[in-house]
């Protein structure tokens, strides 16, 4: 199998070196620079831009084919290696999110799915840094029962970021299997968020919990701001007839 990790690392090193050469070649006094100095700078800048575009598209166009729905099995291996390396460069977070979303559309092999599941949990735990918006799609496409259990356990994490990312990932997973305790933890996570996405606000809403939210919002307390934010979205959606049947939380009303 092609050593994609080495290829990606070598390309990133080339891009960083080209960036340093472009910075060094830029004339200090641009208005007074000679044509030769400007040409040298433009040549170095063009080299950097070429390498930066290859980072975006893949060493040999692997990521470009992936986003155009023309990816091969080797392209998928390249994309997984790219996410596993967790490299940092200009707009790398945005690129990692897009790569994860594109990967979720493909039929992965068992080995690739295993790698993807490890990657999902690494990102939820904060060991890697692909944005959760992309990782959640990958979680939904590759989840098995073991990963469902692992994500449910993280709903109860003392780390707020980990708990939130686990909830966002579970929101994309079919049949997450939430217990009553998991459901209560999910709702607490939503109450602690400064902003709750519209679909999540409705997915975990029930008549009993809505009544509880209105009680919480009526008096000062830890969760008052969160309750008011969720109710604001719920009421606005109803007033503007935007209410759609939410995806069930797969648990009895509580």
d(CA 212, CA 133): 29
Domain boundaries, the chain: 1-60, 72-177, 178-254
Q: What are 193-238's pLDDT values in tens digits?
A: 888 887 888 888 899 999 999 999 999 999 999 999 999 988 888 8
Split at pLDDT 50, 70, 90, the class of 253 is: very low
Split at pLDDT 50, 70, 90, the class of 164 is: very high
In the prediction, which pLDDT does 1 show? 57
Quick one: 106 exposed, middle or buried, by C-beta within 10 A (0-12, 13-18, 19+)? Answer: middle
Q: What are 15-50's pLDDT values in tens digits?
A: 999 999 999 999 988 888 999 999 999 999 999 999
The total of other beta-carbon atoms located within 10 Å of residue 224's CB is 15
Q: What are 55-113's pLDDT values in tens digits?
A: 999 999 999 999 999 999 999 999 999 999 999 988 899 999 999 999 999 999 999 99
């Amino acid at each position: 199998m092609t050593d994609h990790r080495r290829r990606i690392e070598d390309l990133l090193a080339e891009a960083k070196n080209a960036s340093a050469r472009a910075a060094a070649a830029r004339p200090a006094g641009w208005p007074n620079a000679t044509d030769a100095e400007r040409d040298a700078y433009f040549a170095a800048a063009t080299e950097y831009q070429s390498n930066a575009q290859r980072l975006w598209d893949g060493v040999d166009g692997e990521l470009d084919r992936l986003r155009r729905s023309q990816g091969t099995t080797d392209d998928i291996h390249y994309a997984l290696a790219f996410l596993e390396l967790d490299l940092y460069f200009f707009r790398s977070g945005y690129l990692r999110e897009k790569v994860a979303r594109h990967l979720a559309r493909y039929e992965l092999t068992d080995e690739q799915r295993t790698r993807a599941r490890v990657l999902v949990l690494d990102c939820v735990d904060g060991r890697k840094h692909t944005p959760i918006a992309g990782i959640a799609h990958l979680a939904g496409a590759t989840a098995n029962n073991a990963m469902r259990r692992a994500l449910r356990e993280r709903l109860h994490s003392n780390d707020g970021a980990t708990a939130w990312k686990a909830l966002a990932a579970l929101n994309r997973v079919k049949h997450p299997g939430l217990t009553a305790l998991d459901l209560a933890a999910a709702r607490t996570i939503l109450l602690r968020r400064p902003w709750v996405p519209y679909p999540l606000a409705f997915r975990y809403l029930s008549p009993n919990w809505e009544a509880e939210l209105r009680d919480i919002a009526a008096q000062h307390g830890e969760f008052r701001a969160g309750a008011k934010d969720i109710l604001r979205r719920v009421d606005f959606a109803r007033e503007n007839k935007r209410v759609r049947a939410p995806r069930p939380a797969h648990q009895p009303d509580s």
